[in-house]
Amino acid sequence: MVIKYVISYGGPGSGKGTQCANIVQHFGYTHLSAGDLLRAEIKSGSENGTMIQNMIKEGKIVPSEVTIKLLQRAMQEDGNDKFLIDGFPRNEENRAAFEKVTGMEPAFVLFFDCPEEEMEKRLLSRNQGREDDNIETIRKRFKVFLESSLPVINHYDAKGKVRKIDAARPIEEVFESVKAIFGPKNEKS
């Protein structure tokens, strides 16, 4: 089976997860959020749980080998051939390690571009009980995004793979732009 994946990218609170839920409904992809997989690993009581929890609280990036194993396991267990990988790779090391281990590159990268003030407002009113949705950790996450995650976008941009979307608009308008990128022929019948 030939596996295809698309990356959903953007700063914390840019709306990646929200748009991924719509994409799953419309286009039949399996959504894999690296953050959700890491949070599930904490809850499962695994030996890495405490380390992951501490790193997330500090807004830091968990070592590649941990996140890649979780993504690979989720892909194998799912059996779909189309994946929407959300919030990964978070830095160049994540990216290089994933491509080396899997031998795969994304079909394209959706980049939800949103100003920090808007992302901060969204995160502070998200109310999902996330330990990292407090102003101190949010500021650290923004810094990590600028310093470590934007270079990943530059890498894929140089390969012509980035599809930039203005994510500061209402959810439905953002999704119209997403649909235009996937195209009508990829819609579920």
Ligand X SMILES: Nc1ncnc2c1ncn2[C@@H]1O[C@H](COP(=O)(O)OP(=O)(O)OP(=O)(O)O)[C@@H](O)[C@H]1O
Contact set with ligand LCLUPRNS (CB under 6 A): 12, 33-35, 38, 56, 59, 61-62, 67, 87-88, 90, 94, 132, 141
Q: For the chain, how big is the Rg over CA atoms in Å?
A: 16
Least Å from the CB of residue 34 to ligand LCLUPRNS? 4
| Nearest residue relative to ligand LCLUPRNS (C-beta) | 35
Query: Is-contact 14 112, C-beta < 8 A?
Result: yes
Least Å from the CB of residue 65 to Mg ion? 22
Least Å from the CB of residue 90 to Mg ion? 12
CA dist list (Å): 20 to 28, 110, 144: 11, 10, 22
Please choose, out of 7-15, 45-53, 89-97, 177-185, the segment that lies near ligand X by the rule CB under 6 A. 7-15
Return the exposure string of 63-90: e unless at least 16 CB atoms fall within 10 Å of the residue's CB, then b.
Answer: ebebbbebbeebbeeeeeebbbbbbbbb
| Residue 89 interacts with ligand X (CB under 6 A): yes or no | no
144 to 173: interface string for ligand X, x by CB under 6 A? --------------------------xx--
| Residue 59 interacts with ligand X (CB under 6 A): yes or no | no
Query: Is-contact 155 103, C-beta < 8 A?
Result: no
Please list every residue from 96 through 125 that binds ligand X, using CB under 6 A.
122
Binding residues for CMP: 94
CB nearer to ligand LCLUPRNS: give 114 or 141.
141
What region, left, alpha or beta, does residue 79 occupy, with left being phi > 0 and alpha being psi -120 to 50 degrees? left
**DSSP conformation letters of 107-174:** S-EEEEE--HHHHHHHHHT--S--TT-SHHHHHHHHHHIIIIIHHHHHHHHHTT-EEEEETTS-HHHH
Least Å from the CB of residue 103 to ligand X? 27
Contacting positions for Mg ion (CB under 5 A): 17
Least Å from the CB of residue 59 to ligand LCLUPRNS? 5
Closest Cα to residue 149, out of 112, 188, 106? Answer: 112
Residues that bind ligand X (CB under 6 A): 10, 12-18, 35, 87, 122, 126, 170-171, 174
